[in-house]
Amino acid sequence: MIDFENIVDQELVKKILSGALKKDKLAHAYLFYGEQGVGKWAMGLELAKAVNCENKKIIPCQKCNICKKISRLIHPDVRLIFPLPPLEGKSESQKEAEKQKLIRNLKEIKTSDTYATLRFFKKTTISVDEIREMKNHLNLKPNEGKKKVVIIKDIENLSYSGANSMLKVLEEPPGDSLLILTTKSVDRLLLTIVSRCQLLKFSLIPKDFIKGELEKRLKLSSKKASFIANISKGSLGKAIYLAQKEGPLAQKKAKDFLKLCFENDFSETIDFVEKVSKEYTREEVLELIDGCILVFKDLSSISFGCFFSEAEKKEKLKDKDLELLRTFFKSFSQIVIGIREAEKTKRAIEQNVGVDLALLAFLIKLKDKKELMVK
Stretch that binds another protein, among 17-25, 35-43, 142-150, 215-223 (CB under 8 A): 142-150
Closer by beta carbon to another protein, 166 or else 258: 166
CA angle 268, 346, 359 (to 5 degrees): 15
Out of 58, 89, 108, 139, the residue judged to bind another protein by CB under 8 A: 139
Which residue pairs, CB below 8 angstroms and at least 24 apart, start in 308-317?
none
The answer to whether 174 contacts another protein (rule: CB under 8 A) is: yes
CB 67 within 8 A of CB 53: yes
CA distance 299 to 322: 7
Out of 5, 11, 58, 76, the residue judged to bind another protein by CB under 8 A: 76
Out of 57, 88, 112, 136, the residue judged to bind another protein by CB under 8 A: 136
Residue among 5, 146, 143, 145 at smallest CA distance from 62:
5
Out of 5, 11, 96, 171, the residue judged to bind another protein by CB under 8 A: 96
Work out how close the CB of 138 gets to another protein at its nearest, in angstroms, rounded to a whole number: 8
The answer to whether 94 contacts another protein (rule: CB under 8 A) is: no
Give me the residues paired with residue 56 across strands: none
Residue among 121, 96, 91, 116 at smallest CA distance from 106:
116
The answer to whether 112 contacts another protein (rule: CB under 8 A) is: no
| Cα separation values, 227 from 74, 201, 223, 339, 375, Å | 36, 26, 6, 22, 34
The answer to whether 343 contacts another protein (rule: CB under 8 A) is: no
Radius of gyration of the chain (CA): 23
CB 345 within 8 A of CB 359: yes
Work out how close the CB of 198 gets to another protein at its nearest, in angstroms, rounded to a whole number: 22
Out of 94, 143, 264, 333, the residue judged to bind another protein by CB under 8 A: 143
CA distance 336 to 343: 11
The answer to whether 161 contacts another protein (rule: CB under 8 A) is: no
Q: Which amino acid is at 222?
A: S
CA distance 32 to 46: 13
Q: 219: burial class by Cβ within 10 Å (0-12, 13-18, 19+)? A: exposed
Give me the residues paired with residue 198 across strands: 30
Out of 122, 132, 330, 375, the residue judged to bind another protein by CB under 8 A: 132
The answer to whether 168 contacts another protein (rule: CB under 8 A) is: yes
Closer by beta carbon to another protein, 80 or else 229: 80
The answer to whether 104 contacts another protein (rule: CB under 8 A) is: yes
The site for another protein, by CB under 8 A, has a size of: 26
Work out how close the CB of 64 gets to another protein at its nearest, in angstroms, rounded to a whole number: 12
Closer by beta carbon to another protein, 159 or else 331: 159
Work out how close the CB of 159 gets to another protein at its nearest, in angstroms, rounded to a whole number: 18
Residue among 73, 72, 101, 105 at smallest CA distance from 89:
101
Closer by beta carbon to another protein, 69 or else 346: 69
Out of 119, 141, 330, 369, the residue judged to bind another protein by CB under 8 A: 141
Using CB under 8 A, list all residues that contact another protein. Answer: 65, 68-69, 72, 74, 76, 80, 96, 100, 103-104, 132, 135-144, 168, 174-176
